[in-house]
Amino acid sequence: MRLLLPILTVIACGAFATAQIERLTLQQMVEKTDGAVRGEIIGREVHRVAHPIPDSGDLFFTTLMVSGTSLVDGAAATVSVSYPGGYLDARNGAWNSEAPTDAETATGKDVVVFYKWSDDMGGGFASNALYASHGGVYGVFEARRGGLIVQGRGEGYAVERNVKLDELTRNVAELARKKQQDEKK
C-alpha cells in the first residue's frame, strides 16, 4: 500500500507530461476545420448536459451565435460554435482554462471563428466546436488608419500577428480551395 501512492503519482505525472496544446499554422487550421466566419456575436448561451457517468455532475458548454460572412466562400453565414465550460449563474457551471474569456466572446463583439462539427463534445452534446477553444476565436478591430484588423494571438496560433481582414480572408479562401482540391484527388 505504501508504494501505491508513489506509483499512481508517477503515472499521473507521465500522463500530464504528454498533454500538449496544439500549435497551428493558418494552413493547418484551415485543413482541420469545416469553416471560418467573420461576424458579430449575436447571442451567447450556456447549456447544461448530464454527464454520461452517473453521479459525476453535469457538463457545461457555451454556444456563441455568430452572424457574418464565411471566409471560405464569401457567403452570408450565421453559425453556432460551442466550447467546453461556462456558467448558467454564480453556482451552476464549469470553468475551463482553455475557454476564451467573457470579454472575447461578449455579445456584439466582432470576431473571426474557426469551427469543426462534433457529433459528441461530451454527454451527447453535438455542435460546431470552436476549434482549439480560445485559439479558434480572434477579435476584429478598426485600425487607426482605416481598415479592419484581425488581432493575432502570438506564436503557435493560426493567426500569430495582427493581419488585415481582407488579407486573412484571401488566405483562408485560397487554403480552403486547395483543401477541397486535395479532397477530390
| Residue 90 forms part of a structural domain | yes
pLDDT higher than threshold 90 for residue 113: yes
| Residue 1 forms part of a structural domain | no
In the numeric block, the cell 476584429 is attached to 140
Residue 103 CB neighbours (<10 A):
8
Average pLDDT over residues 118-146: 94
Tell me what pLDDT residue 27 has. 96
pLDDT band at 125 (very low <50, low <70, confident <90, very high): very high
| Residue 12 forms part of a structural domain | no
pLDDT band at 21 (very low <50, low <70, confident <90, very high): low
As for how many domains the chain has, the answer is 1
pLDDT band at 54 (very low <50, low <70, confident <90, very high): confident
What's the distance, CA 156 to chain centroid?
15
Give 27's Cβ-side CA count (13 Å radius): 1
Expressed as residue numbers, the domain containing 30 is 23-184
| Residue 11 forms part of a structural domain | no
| Residue 118 forms part of a structural domain | yes
| Residue 91 forms part of a structural domain | yes
- Separation of alpha carbons 84 and 95, rounded Å: 8
pLDDT band at 52 (very low <50, low <70, confident <90, very high): confident
pLDDT higher than threshold 50 for residue 35: yes
Tell me what pLDDT residue 60 has. 96
Tell me what pLDDT residue 7 has. 39
| Residue 114 forms part of a structural domain | yes
Cα-Cα-Cα-Cα torsion 29, 155, 141, 32, nearest 10 degrees, comes to 10
Q: What share of the chain is helix, strand, coil (3-state, %, to 5)?
A: 25, 35, 40
